[in-house]
């Protein structure tokens, strides 16, 4: 099989929440595969620094993924002024830990807006243009919590379960228009979102024992899955959640 199936040359990818962490790592990996990168976030200074660090052909599109009208305005303007968004990676997300019986209602709402509503807002805005062209790739970043639960993060677990099912819904509605909509479910990765856990020796020891691979994931290890799902190699893959988790969801 030709490696040209994985070539992203000439493809333009929008990655939400890409000024750091998984989003930035995916931007670097996708650029190495030939894609043109559009970085997104709310903090203009962080985006500017990320663009500088990334180098090459990179554009910046600042908007709040939880603001439906702002998302649509930004995406529509970009499509008109700069050209098509061929690939979308819905990566923006947040975490809030706490006992469920005391979990603040406002924190639950923020999780819903950031982790679930944003996938709808940005996915819909970009898909409308993809549908007109009869092709497009959407990748939603899910989690091992799409399938599993752990104490202290029940609301987060609920949001990531929703991302998995929203991905299935996107594929069901939009495959007929030539779109492939899939999800990547990372396991436990060393990212700013998990900084508190990475700094906890007891948790890291538990994770090493619980994960067949015996360690934290490295953000670069998500790139292969993203390139695959963004490329012609995945032309008949739709509505799938690909777990990149060191085997944690496969093992009791």
Q: Is residue 249 included in any domain, yes or no? A: no
Give me the pLDDT at residue 192, please: 83
Q: Is residue 252 included in any domain, yes or no? A: no
Beta bridge partners of 183: 140, 241
Active site residue 156: yes
pLDDT in tens, 8-65: 999 999 999 999 999 999 999 999 999 999 999 999 999 999 999 999 889 999 999 9
Give me the pLDDT at residue 1, please: 52
From 231, 230, 224, select the one nearest 88 (Cα to Cα): 230
Give me the pLDDT at residue 59, please: 97
The pTM (predicted TM-score) of the whole model is 0.96
Percentage of the chain exceeding pLDDT 90: 94
Q: Is residue 251 included in any domain, yes or no? A: no
pLDDT at 193 over 90: no
Percentage helix, strand, coil for the chain under 3-state DSSP, each rounded to 5 = 55, 15, 30
Catalytic residue among 24, 156, 216, 243: 156
Domain count, the chain: 1
CATH code of the domain containing 165: 3.40.50.720
User: Using CA atoms, how far apart are residues 245 and 185, in angstroms rounded to an integer?
Assistant: 7
Q: Is residue 154 included in any domain, yes or no? A: yes
CA angle (72, 73, 74) in 5-degree steps: 90
Q: What SS3 class is residue 197?
A: helix
Give me the pLDDT at residue 142, please: 98
pLDDT at 155 over 60: yes
Give me the pLDDT at residue 188, please: 95
Q: Is residue 250 included in any domain, yes or no? A: no
User: Using CA atoms, how far apart are residues 187 and 92, in angstroms rounded to an integer?
Assistant: 16
Neighbouring residues of 163: CB distance < 8 A, sequence distance ≥ 6 = 115, 116, 119, 140, 141, 142, 143, 146, 183
Give me the pLDDT at residue 35, please: 97
Q: What is the mean pLDDT of residues 184-197?
A: 91
Q: What is the mean pLDDT of residues 185-206?
A: 92
Q: What is the mean pLDDT of residues 129-153?
A: 97
CA angle (144, 66, 103) in 5-degree steps: 55
Do 43 and 19 form a contact (C-beta atoms < 8 A)?
Answer: yes
Percentage of the chain exceeding pLDDT 70: 100
Q: Is residue 134 included in any domain, yes or no? A: yes
Quote the domain boundaries for residue 218.
Answer: 3-244
204: pLDDT confidence band, cut at 50, 70 and 90? very high
Q: Is residue 59 included in any domain, yes or no? A: yes
Give me the pLDDT at residue 217, please: 96
Q: Is residue 43 included in any domain, yes or no? A: yes
pLDDT at 2 over 80: no
pLDDT in tens, 31-41: 999 999 999 99
Q: What is the mean pLDDT of residues 120-139?
A: 98
**In the structure encoding, which two tokens stand for residue 31, read together?**
């650029």
Q: What is the mean pLDDT of residues 85-98?
A: 97
How many CB atoms are closer than 10 A to CB 2? 8
pLDDT at 191 over 90: no
């Amino acid at each position: 099989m030709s490696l040209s199936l994985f070539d992203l040359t000439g493809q333009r990818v929008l990655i939400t929440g890409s000024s750091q962490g998984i989003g930035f790592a995916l931007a670097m990996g996708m650029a190495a595969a030939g894609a043109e990168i559009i970085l997104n976030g709310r903090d203009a200074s962080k985006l500017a620094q990320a663009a500088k660090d990334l180098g090459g052909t990179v554009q910046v599109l600042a908007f709040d993924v939880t603001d439906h009208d702002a998302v649509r305005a930004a995406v529509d303007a970009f499509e008109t002024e700069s050209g098509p968004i061929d690939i979308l990676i819905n990566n923006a997300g947040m975490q809030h830990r706490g006992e469920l019986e005391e979990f603040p209602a406002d924190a639950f709402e923020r999780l819903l807006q950031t982790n679930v509503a944003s996938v709808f807002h940005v996915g819909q805005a970009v898909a409308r243009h993809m549908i007109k062209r009869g092709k497009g790739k959407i990748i939603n970043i899910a989690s091992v919590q799409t399938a599993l639960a752990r104490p202290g993060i029940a609301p987060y677990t609920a949001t990531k379960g929703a991302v998995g099912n929203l991905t299935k819904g996107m594929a069901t509605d939009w495959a007929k228009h030539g779109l492939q909509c899939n999800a990547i479910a990372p396991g436990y990765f060393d990212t700013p979102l998990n900084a508190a856990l990475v700094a906890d020796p007891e948790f890291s020891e538990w994770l090493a024992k619980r994960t067949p691979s015996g360690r934290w994931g490295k953000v670069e290890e998500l790139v292969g899955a993203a390139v695959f799902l963004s490329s012609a190699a995945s032309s008949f893959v739709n509505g799938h959640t690909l777990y990149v988790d060191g085997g944690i969801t496969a093992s009791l």
